[in-house]
Structure 1
Amino acid sequence: MSNNFELGTTENINNNEEDDEELLNSFPAGYRFKPRDDELVLFYLKPKLLNLRLPPNRIRDVELYHYNPQQLIEKYGSYGEEEWYFFTPREKKYRNGLRPNRTAGDGYWKATGADKILRSESHEIGYRKALVFYKGKPPKGEKTDWMMHEFRLKDPPAKLSQDEMRAFPPNSMNTLSSPRSKETTLRQLRV
């Protein structure tokens, strides 16, 4: 797979969210920010981890696990209708462990099923994990209809110095879907 990305400067390159929002809101009715899974990984997550400028988008940097889904939608509802996109640090549950911490507000996210391998031009580029939100404390939480998909790169950039790693912790990208209902059973809902 050819690498179409050039490593940028070590300075943090932030898109101007207000300019992005103005541009995206100028599109005619019917246009939506709805990238495919491989596009999310290649054109948003990978450049974000390489500290490159992103195309205009509706992805917000949020400490996702500080909120339950309803709080996120109340705060960021204008950025989506049935799906919302976020970059968030992937924190470990235990200091020396590998398991991610998925507690969130008054509940927790629980993984469902195996990771889906994402491909571009037959090359493995990343993974998508499905999660469901449970209210309460594990293992006796109450399952809700909130779903989330977590996207990760197969080979995250390793060229960051220790200082850069502290400034830009490894991120994952998440899409959050509104609660499933009978009216939306034929629509793909992603979190």
Structure 2
Amino acid sequence: MEIPPGYRFRPNDQEITLFYLINKVINNPFPDGFKNTIRDDCDDVVYGDFMKLTKIFQETRMDCLYFYVRLKKKTLKRVERVNQYGTWRSQKDTKIFSDPPYNTNHVGSKRSFMFVPKEGVHGLGRWVMYEFRLDGIYRNTTNNDNIVICQIKHKKGIKEEQQLPQMGEDVHFNTMGLAQHSTTEQNYTGDQEFVDFLTSVLKAY
């Protein structure tokens, strides 16, 4: 099966959970045309080397990509979400049902994140992530590798002239933990979700 020209991969929450995620977890084979729609072996990209993630988006020229990720858990309930350049900050958790609008069969959940760069790190753009996991009636499905699907959206292009600091380079941060941009008002006021998130972070300080 070949994907036709112009096709854009935009599955809904039920398709991500009930087709792509559960079949990956239980190791069911995918048809040929579906093998590369979600990137695999990217554990060190999503929750690791942020430069690799930005490079993938630059090379594909896409603003939304999907990744299979094997979570690295610090404890039974805590996942390592910090890298050299910032933190994936959790926002909210939403249940996924197989039968909307009736919502009687809870099959999974998705958690939203915003990437918050450390002070002194510039040129990252704006990043939003949705992490899909099996839940509800599939909560006890064997998933020894802790596999989830991460949908990542890049909301502003990375400026080529603004390079990320190299690995091992000293970067100094202040206590705010947020990158400063000269176009803050222009970039953020059009996205109420992002404004609300920043407000909650600032209140915490």
Normalised by the size of structure 1, how large is the TM-score?
Answer: 0.65
Distance 2:83 2:30 in 1: 27
Contact 2:57/2:63 (<8 A) preserved: no
Contact 1:151/1:174 (<8 A) preserved: yes
SS in 2 for 1:88: strand
1:109 equivalent in alignment to 2:88: yes
Aligned to 1:178: 154
> What is the percent sequence identity of the aligned residues?
26
The alpha-carbon distance between structure 1 residues 157 and 177, as it changes in their structure 2 partners (threshold 3 A), is same
SS in 1 for 2:39: strand
Computing the radius of gyration over CA atoms, which structure comes out larger, 1 or 2? 2
Normalised by the size of structure 2, how large is the TM-score?
Answer: 0.61
The alpha-carbon distance between structure 1 residues 52 and 104, as it changes in their structure 2 partners (threshold 3 A), is farther
Contact 2:85/2:121 (<8 A) preserved: no
Q: Give the partner amino acid of 2:16.
A: L
Aligned to 2:70: 89
Distance 1:141 1:75 in 2: 19
The alpha-carbon distance between structure 1 residues 76 and 136, as it changes in their structure 2 partners (threshold 3 A), is same
**Post-superposition CA distance 1:138-180 (Å, at most 9, x none):** xx999962100000101245457xxxx3xxx111110110125
Aligned pairs for 1:6-155 (under 5 A) are 23-24=2-3, 27-29=4-6, 31-55=7-31, 56=34, 57-61=36-40, 62-63=42-43, 64-68=46-50, 71-75=52-56, 77=58, 81-94=62-75, 97-113=76-92, 115-121=93-99, 122=103, 123-136=105-118, 145-154=126-135, 155=138
Which is richer in strand?
A: 1
Contact 1:38/1:119 (<8 A) preserved: yes
Q: 1:80 Cα deviation (Å)?
A: 6.5
The alpha-carbon distance between structure 1 residues 158 and 41, as it changes in their structure 2 partners (threshold 3 A), is closer
Unaligned regions of 5+ residues in structure 2, if any?
Answer: 158-185, 192-205
Q: 1:71 Cα deviation (Å)?
A: 3.0
Cα RMSD over matched residues?
3.1
